[in-house]
Amino acid sequence: MSESGRASAIEFRDVHFSRGNLPILRGFSIDIAAGETLALVGRSGAGKSTILKLINRLLLPDSGDVFVESRRTSTWDPFQLRRRAGYVMQEVGLFPHLTVAQNIAIVPRLLGWEDRKTAERVDELLELVGLEREGFSSRRPDQLSGGQRQRVGVARALAADPPILLMDEPFGALDPVTRAEIHHEFRRIQQRVRKTVVLVTHDMAEAFALGTHVGVLSDGVLAVVGEPAAVAQSTDARVRPLLAPLIEATAVLGNSR
Amino acid sequence: MSLWQFWRTHATEFLTLLGQHVMLVGASTLVAIVAGVPIGVLAAKRPRVGAPIVWLANVVQTIPSLAMFGFLLPLPLVGGLGARVAIFVLILYALLPIVRTTTAGLRSVDRVLVEAGTAMGMTPRQLMRDVELPLALPSIVAGIRVAAVIGVGTATIAAAVGAGGFGEYIFRGLSMVDSTVILAGAIPSALLALTIDGALTLVERGLKDFSAPRRRGLQAVAVLTLIVVAGTAAVLAFAGRGRTSVIRIGSKNFTEQIVLGEIVAQTIEARTPLRVERRLNLGGTFICDRAVRSGDIDAYVEYSGTAQTAIFHQPVETDARRVFAAIKERYAAAGLSLLDPLGFENTFAMLIRGDVANRLGLRTLSQAAAFAPSWRAGFGYEFLQREDGYPGLARTYGLHFARPPTAMDLSLIYRALADGQVDLVAGDATSGLIDAYGFTMLVDDRHYFPPYDAAVVARSPTLLAHPEVKDALAGLSGRITVADMRRMNRAVDADHRDPAEVARTFLAAKR
């Protein structure tokens, strides 16, 4: 099903989706290989979140098909599917009445893991996202900084070692310094865990920083997709305006030199 | 008698009433939680199903509690005198705040958290249990707090249907016109409400503060629940014990009735080996009549004229013998026995202040009618409504007052007249307060009022099963004179003596 012969983790085939009378996706197709980090860029309201929700079956397409691990999402048990796709969102959505450790342990608990195995996994993940176990596992979300909360959010999404990670503007609410730091962390983590990651963002710089592949969403279809270098060279009229700020920033740096 | 003295001398009774009050509020609140939280969840998740239930709970909340007791008394299963009907009514009142706050609490849960939980693969049930309910808990506890505090207040009304609690003192104090007794019930009831309010506020605050260890708050809730459950179980077990071979004596909620109830009860206790249960201070003729018909009480003292007009809805008649014979027959048809008259008559007494009577030289109602247009009148609720009460009286004497008569509780009427808030009241001819306050009773010179001979009404099956009760009560007929009754009423109302003790003294003297 994938032209290149690589294992396809997620595939969209001519997907249409409307909210009420408003068309969001009009024939969206993409093939995402296992282990790839796809960064999808688009303006607000372009349907980026919709794409993530179609993958974990929070939504079903009006027409066309979405495949996860070669199975139509409509034939997946929604709860099983969602437990195989970690979800990170901008608001993080940590549960305020649970500790950091309890928040991370949610999906393992849903899957019925033993307490010991869960506890070990929580420690492992805290270490992975760069938070010491002693200081953090029993804290409440309101005792964490924005960056720490987002790290816990990533740890929670990875808890049950899902093959897929869905990230909805995950670092959009962070200040630039923290964001740069966490970008670095993310690349380090991704090198270790090798998940199939679909990350949506309105920030082209973030897409280039994190994606092994970058896709641009425009008017409900995929305008371009490819490796970052290829996308940066794109002459597509729908892609250039998104690239403009990056080129300007580079130009400013060049002039001041 | 000072408040302290009263509590000291009534310590055992006080504890019983406290227990009953806590049991009424605790049991009803618990059931309301068990029923209300799921309804609240339903209302939040399925508004189309939940909305009508919330609407119904709203309507229930608007019904005055005394009226609700009136509606429910005759019903099977929930009806009848005592704790059962009281708890049922209290549950109905407690439901709304709990349902409301459950729904509001669930609706206020951040949508982001629900989305996060769903995206992690939580089923709706897991989401409710692990996310939505825990986050709505502070709001739910706030609702429980409101329900419990309302419950403590409403439970005082429960004394009117014989469920006990601090309302017992309040009603007793009202009928004795003794503010000490009223306070003896009102103060602890208020303190109980404040205590519950304070305790649950602490729990609520503990739950809101997610950073604090939550276990303590939950432990407090658990302990509180346990106490209430244990208390309820104990009281119910106690109340359910030996329902057989107990004779239940009722009375209406004014002094004379309570004294008569004691006289009847003590007579049976003295002359038979049977246990007697007192259901005194019931809220009026209607409730007593329902209770004796349904078997919630076995006997109480009724007045012939009241039975004739208020119970059997017959036209007013003035021949005492004919009235008595007529209602005896009607009672018999209903399975009730009207025993021979006790000896005195308690007619309505139209009262004015003594100084006014002297100054104007008034002795009869006909004379007084001329002055009525410049007077204000105060009547009990029953008197205002009853065919043998105000409507007929006004027609007979052509009475017109400065403004429509004020409806007030019987227990407040004498004081209102003495204080000059009203100028004419309808009281009881046997009231001890007539002499105590120096009121003048106007003569019914057109013979408007029917005879009001006092006599015991008892369930015929009870008398058949226990002929000794019938014999014992027969000993009372013709033994209580108007003078006796006034003296006993005065001993309670003016001298603040205990009705049971007054009855005991009377019986000892008559023996």
Which one of B110, B120, B214 has the shortest CB-CB distance to A82? B120
Tens of pLDDT along B267-298?
999 998 889 989 888 888 888 998 898 888 99
Nearest residue on chain B to A110, alpha-carbon basis: B122
Which one of B119, B123, B211 has the shortest CB-CB distance to A58? B119
Distances (CA, A) of A198 to A25, A180, B161: 17, 19, 69
Residue B21 predicted with pLDDT over 60? yes
Query: Quick one: what percent of chain A has pLDDT higher than 90?
Result: 54
- DSSP classification of residue B158: G
Cβ pair B117:A95 closer than 8 A: yes
Mean pLDDT of chain B: 86
B341 plus B352 within the same structural domain = no
The better pLDDT of the pair B199, B241 is held by: B199
| Residue carrying structure tokens 């994190």 | A210
B79 plus B121 within the same structural domain = yes
B325 plus B373 within the same structural domain = no
The dihedral formed by the CA atoms of A67, A71, A73 and A76, expressed in degrees to the nearest 10: -160
Q: What pLDDT was estimated at residue A10?
A: 95
The distance of A168 to chain B (nearest Cα, Å) reads: 11
- DSSP classification of residue B131: I
Q: What pLDDT was estimated at residue B240?
A: 45
For residue A28, the SS3 value is strand
In this structure, are strands A37-41 and A63-68 parallel, antiparallel, or unpaired? unpaired
A234 confidence band (pLDDT: 50, 70, 90): confident
Q: What pLDDT was estimated at residue A102?
A: 93
Cβ pair A97:B123 closer than 8 A: no
B243 confidence band (pLDDT: 50, 70, 90): very low
Tens of pLDDT along B456-486?
999 988 998 888 999 999 999 999 998 899 8
Nearest residue on chain B to A81, alpha-carbon basis: B121
In this structure, are strands A196-201 and A213-218 parallel, antiparallel, or unpaired? unpaired
Residue B244 predicted with pLDDT over 60? no
B479 plus B376 within the same structural domain = no
- Number of Cβ within 10 Å of residue A102's Cβ equals 19
Query: Quick one: what percent of chain B has pLDDT higher than 90?
Result: 40
Tens of pLDDT along A26-40?
999 999 999 999 999
For residue B501, the SS3 value is helix
A5 confidence band (pLDDT: 50, 70, 90): very low
Residue B221 predicted with pLDDT over 70? no
- Quick check: B453 and B485 in contact, CB under 8 A? no
The better pLDDT of the pair B254, B503 is held by: B503
Amino acid letter, B73: L
Based on C-alpha coordinates, what's the Rg of chain A? 19
Structurally, chain B folds into a number of domains equal to: 3
Cβ pair B211:A81 closer than 8 A: no
Q: What pLDDT was estimated at residue A38?
A: 95
Q: What pLDDT was estimated at residue A235?
A: 84
Q: Does residue A208 belong to any structural domain of this protein?
A: yes
* Structure tokens belonging to residue B337: 């026995």
- Quick check: B431 and B418 in contact, CB under 8 A? no
- Quick check: B339 and B458 in contact, CB under 8 A? yes
Chain A positions in Cβ-Cβ contact with residue B116 (cut-off 8 Å): 87, 89, 91-95
Cβ pair B120:A95 closer than 8 A: no
> What whole-number distance in Å separates Cα of residue B423 and Cα of residue B379?
11
B156 plus B22 within the same structural domain = yes
The distance of A214 to chain B (nearest Cα, Å) reads: 24
For residue B511, the SS3 value is coil
B147 plus B201 within the same structural domain = yes
CATH for B427: 3.40.190.120
Q: What pLDDT was estimated at residue B236?
A: 55
Chain B positions in Cβ-Cβ contact with residue A166 (cut-off 8 Å): 119
Residues A63-82 have a mean pLDDT of: 93
Residues A39-44 have a mean pLDDT of: 89
From B442, B472, B498, the end of a domain falls on: B442
Q: What pLDDT was estimated at residue A149?
A: 92
Long-range contacts, stretch B46-52, CB < 8 angstroms, 24+ apart: B50/B103
From B240, B257, B276, the end of a domain falls on: B240
Q: What pLDDT was estimated at residue B239?
A: 52
User: CA B144 from chain center: how many Å?
Assistant: 25
> What whole-number distance in Å separates Cα of residue A148 and Cα of residue A164?
22
B160 plus B273 within the same structural domain = no
Q: What pLDDT was estimated at residue B25?
A: 92
Q: Does residue A176 belong to any structural domain of this protein?
A: no
Nearest residue on chain B to A106, alpha-carbon basis: B120
Q: Which residues contact B175 (CB under 8 A, 6 or more apart)?
A: B253, B254, B255, B258, B281, B410, B411
Amino acid letter, A41: V
Q: Print the domain residue range for A18.
A: 1-84+200-257
| Beta strands, E only, B386-435 | 406-407, 424-428
Chain B positions in Cβ-Cβ contact with residue A96 (cut-off 8 Å): 113, 135, 210
B15 plus B152 within the same structural domain = yes
Q: What pLDDT was estimated at residue B233?
A: 60
- Quick check: B191 and B153 in contact, CB under 8 A? no
Chain A positions in Cβ-Cβ contact with residue B214 (cut-off 8 Å): 97
Q: Print the domain residue range for B362.
A: 348-442
For residue B58, the SS3 value is helix
Residues A141-154 have a mean pLDDT of: 90
Q: What pLDDT was estimated at residue B205?
A: 80
Q: What pLDDT was estimated at residue B232?
A: 62
Distances (CA, A) of B96 to B55, B89, B286, B500: 9, 12, 29, 41
Q: What pLDDT was estimated at residue A257?
A: 42
Residue B351 parent element (H or E): strand B348-353
Which DSSP string corresponds to B90-122? HHHHHHHHHHHHHHHHHHTS-HHHHHHHHHTT-
In our burial notation (b when 16+ CB lie closer than 10 A, e otherwise), range B159-187 reads bbbbbbbbbbbbbbbbbbbbebbbbbbbe
User: CA B6 from chain center: how many Å?
Assistant: 21
Helices in B275-403 by DSSP H: which ranges?
Answer: 285-294, 304-306, 320-333, 354-360, 365-369, 381-385, 390-397
Cβ pair A58:B210 closer than 8 A: no
Q: What pLDDT was estimated at residue A24?
A: 92
B191 plus B299 within the same structural domain = no
Q: What pLDDT was estimated at residue A100?
A: 94
B297 plus B419 within the same structural domain = no
Which one of B121, B130, B131 has the shortest CB-CB distance to A82? B121
> What whole-number distance in Å separates Cα of residue A34 and Cα of residue B39?
47
Model ipTM? 0.87
Tens of pLDDT along B73-90?
777 666 667 788 888 889
Q: What pLDDT was estimated at residue B234?
A: 63
A54 confidence band (pLDDT: 50, 70, 90): very high
Residue B250 predicted with pLDDT over 90? yes
Q: Does residue A95 belong to any structural domain of this protein?
A: no
- DSSP classification of residue A185: H
Q: In what order do the strands lie in the sheet with A63-68?
A: A22-33, A8-19, A63-68, A71-72
> What whole-number distance in Å separates Cα of residue B436 and Cα of residue A95?
71
What's the half-sphere exposure (Cβ side, CA atoms, 13 Å) at B208?
A: 12
Structurally, chain A folds into a number of domains equal to: 1
Tens of pLDDT along A150-161?
899 999 999 999
Tens of pLDDT along B401-456?
888 888 887 778 888 899 888 999 998 888 888 888 889 999 888 888 888 999 99
Cβ pair A81:B115 closer than 8 A: no
Which DSSP string corresponds to B205-243? HHHH-TTS-THHHHHHHHHHHHHHHHHHHHHHHHHHS--
Highest mean pLDDT pick, A46-55, A184-193, B430-439: A46-55
Which one of A78, A87, A142 has the shortest CB-CB distance to B211? A142
- Quick check: B361 and B397 in contact, CB under 8 A? no
CATH for A52: 3.40.50.300
Mean pLDDT check: name the lowest of B131-145, B162-176, B212-226, B445-459: B212-226
Residue B241 predicted with pLDDT over 60? no
**Phi, psi for residue A47 in degrees, rounded to 5:** 105, 20
* Structure tokens belonging to residue B265: 């009860």
> What whole-number distance in Å separates Cα of residue A92 and Cα of residue A152?
9
For residue A4, the SS3 value is coil
From B413, B442, B471, the end of a domain falls on: B442
Tens of pLDDT along A85-125?
999 988 889 999 899 999 999 999 999 999 999 999 999 99
Mean pLDDT of chain A: 88
The better pLDDT of the pair B334, A250 is held by: B334
Q: What pLDDT was estimated at residue B164?
A: 84
Q: Which of A59, A58, A51 is nearest to A32 (CA)?
A: A51
Chain A positions in Cβ-Cβ contact with residue B123 (cut-off 8 Å): 79
Residues B205-226 have a mean pLDDT of: 64
B323 plus B250 within the same structural domain = yes
Which one of B110, B120, B210 has the shortest CB-CB distance to A106? B120
B207 plus B341 within the same structural domain = no
Nearest residue on chain A to B112, alpha-carbon basis: A93
Q: What pLDDT was estimated at residue B327?
A: 93
Q: Does residue A126 belong to any structural domain of this protein?
A: no
Q: What pLDDT was estimated at residue B176?
A: 66
CB-neighbour burial class of residue A125 (10 A; exposed 0-12, middle 13-18, buried 19+):
buried
Mutation target among B108, B111, B120 for the A interface, most CBs of A within 10 A: B120
Tens of pLDDT along B25-70?
999 999 999 999 999 999 898 888 888 888 888 888 888 887 887 7
B215 confidence band (pLDDT: 50, 70, 90): low
